[in-house]
Amino acid sequence: MRMSYTITIIGAVGGISPYNDDDIIRLLNTQQTALSHGETFTGRPDTKVYIDINSVLKIRSEIRLDALSAIRWAKQALEKEIRYQVHHPDKTWFVAEYSHQEKSTVVIGNICPRLAPLHEIVVDQKVNPEDFLHYFTRLFHHYFRLAKTLQIRLDEGLSNFGMTTDRQLYYLDDDIYSWDRFISCAQMLGVYFRSLTWLTPSLAKQLGYAIRQQIIEHFADVQYLIVLEEQMKDVFMPAQHQQKLIQEFIAGLNEGNKKPQVPPIHLHHNRYLAILADIHANLPALQAVLAFLDSNNIKQGIMAGDIVGYGPHPSECIELIQKTDFLVLKGNHDHGLATNNFQKGFSSTASWVLTWTQQHTNSEHIQWLVDLPPLAHEDNWLALHGAPIDPTFFNAYVYEMTYQDNLDVLARKKIPICFHGHTHQPGMYARKGRTDKYYLEDEIALQQFDHSLICPGSIGQPRNGKSGAQFAIYDQKEHKVTFHTIQYNLELIEKKMREEEFPTTLINVLHGNRN
């Protein structure tokens, strides 16, 4: 039975809609198209789809509002999509009202040109490699542009993208999600590699390079190449040839990387490793710790990030650490300074100090910070600045609310020990069987634990209410960790900070006053 509709056209993404009321009513009176996973038209069960040879109309039946509220909702949806600029410009939102059995019903919908779904195009083994790279370059151009500019994520499923006859690619879905820092991106790339059975290692490498270019273009930060690489290493690939695709993709992702200025450090099988973190440009504290280590013949170790920030000796601390045989990792303050990106995600105090630091470091220092790796793996440990659960390696914290999730990550990856910084709080969260607990002893034997999260505290700015330079020593033979706090010339750094008019709160922290 033909229904009678009253149509309110809200508008099109590109401005002027090519559709009128009759176009919409005609489609609404056609047979509804069934949705099925893997078929031409896919989607949620409560979305109704009507098609003809030229157009696709969707009704969002899960949204039940009165007429005025529906118009308001559709206007907001249109405004967002105009801002996104990823949908076809002819996509038009509307509100339709009809009566059935003396009951009035209002529905929200949209209509747009019928495009060729990407999943049907690339499933063909005969697809031209050049076309394949073109399609996916356009997909990730939209994907990373929105991730960077609006912190949102498109649904990466290939059925959510469509091509025009002139090879323009548009997003077909109505839904947008929060950006999750490459986690879903890596998982969906794994789906691509598992489902596109014709994909060759050579083409996977070319795709890796194409995505590399898109990440650099939109994020302007090579750090994100490492973020995606680490996520890809976690992707499940059951077959050997699929694992080869991942390897070649990662090779393409890294292709063109210049040789870093930071030389590789190979931690020898020395009995003792020093574990340092959060120097924060405190030269007297760093000098005292290195002198202690030297007097105990400890030559190697791990520096878990944040050489700069909060303190007045950035260049001196960089140059002193450069002379050591330490594996040095990148912290969030190091990264913020290296990328000149510390206006967001940092406190006003931290931003003030990093602005000051820019005037007290040179281009060689900055490039050295750029080249620092964000994490390191060895046979029985992982080291990073922030937290294992964080895909960016140095932004999240290990603390009371997150330590169990972080221990879960270590368990899933079969990593017994993680050395980290960032919290400025010495101590260890550990799992023994089904028991998770925090440990604060000066010496802890690690054999009893399945997984451990070890923070040495902060050399340059402790936050546990005590003064002094904090660090730890890992005994690889006895498999134990000891925590140390030594005193240094506080008056020297305090004098420098007052001369440079540093915030008083930072000086107070050095004396053991909690910030």
Q: How far is CA 422 from the centre of its chain?
A: 17
Closest to 226 in 3D by CA, of 245, 242, 212, 240: 212
Tokens 């195009």 belong to residue: 121
In the chain, where are the structural domains located?
A: 5-114, 117-254, 275-333+377-510
Rounded to whole angstroms, the Cα distance separating 310 from 333 reads 9
Neighbouring residues of 391: CB distance < 8 A, sequence distance ≥ 6: 180, 181, 182, 183, 227, 230, 231
Task: Reduce the DSSP state of residue 341 to 3 states and report it.
Answer: coil
Residue 213: which of 133, 131, 118 has the closest Cα? Answer: 133
Contacts of 232 (CB under 8 A, 6+ apart): 186, 189, 190, 246, 249, 250, 253
Per-residue pLDDT of the chain (515 residues), as tens digits, is 567 889 999 999 999 999 999 999 999 998 887 655 554 555 556 789 999 999 999 999 899 999 999 999 999 999 999 999 999 999 999 999 988 766 889 999 999 999 999 999 998 767 889 999 999 999 999 999 999 999 999 999 999 999 999 999 999 999 999 999 999 999 999 999 999 999 999 999 999 999 999 999 999 999 999 999 999 999 999 999 999 999 999 999 999 777 666 666 677 678 999 999 999 999 999 999 999 999 999 999 999 999 999 999 999 999 999 999 999 999 999 999 999 999 888 999 999 999 999 999 999 999 999 999 999 998 889 999 999 999 999 999 999 999 999 999 999 999 999 999 999 999 999 999 999 999 999 999 999 999 999 999 999 999 999 999 999 999 999 999 999 999 999 999 999 999 999 999 999 999 987 65
Under 8 Å between Cβ of 170 and 85: no
Rounded CA separation 170/413 (Å): 37
Q: 275-333+377-510, what's its fold?
A: Purple Acid Phosphatase; chain A, domain 2 (3.60.21)
